[in-house]
Amino acid sequence: MSTPKVALVTGGAGFIGSHAVDSLLDHGLEVRVIDNLTGGREQNLSHHAGNPRLKAEFRDIRDYQPGDPLFSGVDIVLHFAGIGDIVPSIEKPMEYMSVNAQGTVHMLECARQAGAGKFVYAASSSCYGLAETPTSEDHPINPQYPYALSKYQGEQAVFHWHKVYGLPVNSIRIFNAYGTRSRTSGAYGAVFGVFLKQKLAGKPFTVVGDGTQTRDFLYVTDVANAFRLAAFTDLVGRVWNLGAGDPQSVNRLVELLQGEVVHIPKRPGEPDCTWADISRIKADLGFEQQVSFEQGVREILANIEYWREAPLWDPDSISQATQAWFDAFDATDKG
């Protein structure tokens, strides 16, 4: 494909999306952002204030229809917008299907009608369920909860639009992204946000199980760069796993963050290890990790004030917040 000049980033005021905006602007593109600010923050784009190459609209992706002027002349679409977290998806499955699956269809149709040259979807490694590791792109799909299912259905829609309409698409299944600007509000979720607020409050880290479980953490700027590579490549119709390919334990994270620990029960349907086989994305796109785990944690600690207003979780509030999770899997076992 020719060098893209105009990019549209959905969820562009959010965690990964705002870093993708940074990367695209740094590479000289005009960037348009869609974000309803449910999880994103205008603050994440404030350092670009006054940049004539950036335009943002704070609307829901489901409000857009084909022919919307924001999509006019767009060369590439990076689609990050959606809702995350496991427990709320168990409690509100229809909303997750509406936003993550049907919302993706809205973006696909807008991109198709605008003649976009590439649509890159932010998929989730949760589609694999309790996977064998290291996990390749050919691993069987087995979503364990509605969030995982909704993200996978969004990905299926992406490839259906490629098959039926010829829209050039790629999909990246993100494993465990972490870094600055991650979400600070809402439901009990990712370990970094929970731990950072606990550190600010001088409270112990709530470690699930014995802390030996590992996650394939990849720093957010590396994630954003991978999406730019997937947008600029001539390859289409591809799925790539994205992680560091080097899982780190929760205990190692606690060691780097430094603090006391309290242990809470393990949760059903959660893998002991996530580990992306990244050989395909390295071969196809030349992707290489640039930020080590230790460097990334240092960068987060240097910006820890960002999480000052985040909710503070303790064992009791976590137990209450995750009860639907345990109940759902208990019902499955009884069935």
Phi (first) and psi of residue 50, to 5 degrees: 85, -5
The pLDDT assigned to 188 comes to 65
Q: Name the residue among 55, 63, 21, 20 with its Cα closest to residue 38.
A: 63
- Per the model's pLDDT, the better-predicted residue between 322 and 126 turns out to be 126
- The pLDDT confidence band at residue 187, using thresholds 50, 70 and 90, is low
The pLDDT assigned to 97 comes to 98
Q: Number of folded domains in the chain? A: 1
Question: Residue 187 domain-assigned?
Answer: no
- The pLDDT confidence band at residue 325, using thresholds 50, 70 and 90, is confident
Q: Name the residue among 52, 71, 51, 53 with its Cα closest to residue 61.
A: 71
Query: ∠ at Cα 82 (81, 84), nearest 5°?
Result: 135
Mean pLDDT of the chain: 95
Q: Name the residue among 310, 328, 196 with its Cα closest to residue 270.
A: 328
- Per the model's pLDDT, the better-predicted residue between 112 and 186 turns out to be 112
- For 75-106, what is each residue's pLDDT tens digit? 999 999 999 988 889 999 999 999 999 999 99
pTM as predicted: 0.95
Percent of the residues in the chain that have a pLDDT greater than 90, as a whole number: 87
- For 118-146, what is each residue's pLDDT tens digit? 999 999 999 999 999 999 999 999 999 99
The pLDDT assigned to 327 comes to 82
- What is the average pLDDT across 308-334? 83
Question: Residue 69 domain-assigned?
Answer: yes
- What is the average pLDDT across 188-195? 84
DSSP code at position 84: -
List CB contacts of 153: < 8 A, sequence separation 6 or more.
Answer: 97, 100, 101
Report how far residue 112's alpha carbon sits from residue 177's, in angstroms, rounded to the nearest whole number: 29
**How long, in residues, is the chain?**
335
The pLDDT assigned to 92 comes to 95
Query: Which of 46-55, 164-173, 236-245, 316-325 has the weakest average pLDDT?
Result: 316-325
- What is the average pLDDT across 270-293? 96
- What is the average pLDDT across 220-238? 98
The pLDDT assigned to 2 comes to 76
CATH number at residue 232: 3.40.50.720
Q: Name the residue among 197, 177, 176, 178 with its Cα closest to residue 186.
A: 197
CA dist 159 to 89, 210, 233, 238, Å? 23, 40, 17, 9
Q: Is 147 a catalytic residue?
A: yes
The pLDDT assigned to 281 comes to 98
Report how far residue 57's alpha carbon sits from residue 44's, in angstroms, rounded to the nearest whole number: 14
Question: Residue 123 domain-assigned?
Answer: yes
- The pLDDT confidence band at residue 280, using thresholds 50, 70 and 90, is very high
Q: Which of 145, 147, 152, 306 is catalytic?
A: 147
Question: Residue 204 domain-assigned?
Answer: no
Torsion on CA atoms 191, 192, 198, 203, rounded to nearest 10: 60
Question: Residue 280 domain-assigned?
Answer: no
Question: Residue 138 domain-assigned?
Answer: yes
Q: Positive or negative, the Cα torsion across 228, 233, 239, 241?
A: negative
Question: Residue 73 domain-assigned?
Answer: yes
Question: Residue 152 domain-assigned?
Answer: yes
> Above 60 in pLDDT, residue 70?
yes
Query: Which of 26-30, 144-148, 170-174, 330-334 has the weakest average pLDDT?
Result: 330-334
Domain residues for the domain of 159 are 6-178+217-242
Tell whether omega for the bond before 134 is within 30 degrees of 0, i.e. cis.
yes
DSSP code at position 244: -
Query: Which of 45-49, 238-242, 307-311 has the weakest average pLDDT?
Result: 307-311
Percent of the residues in the chain that have a pLDDT greater than 70, as a whole number: 96
Residue with tokens 């969030």: 147
Q: Name the residue among 1, 39, 50 with its Cα closest to residue 17.
A: 39
The pLDDT assigned to 329 comes to 67
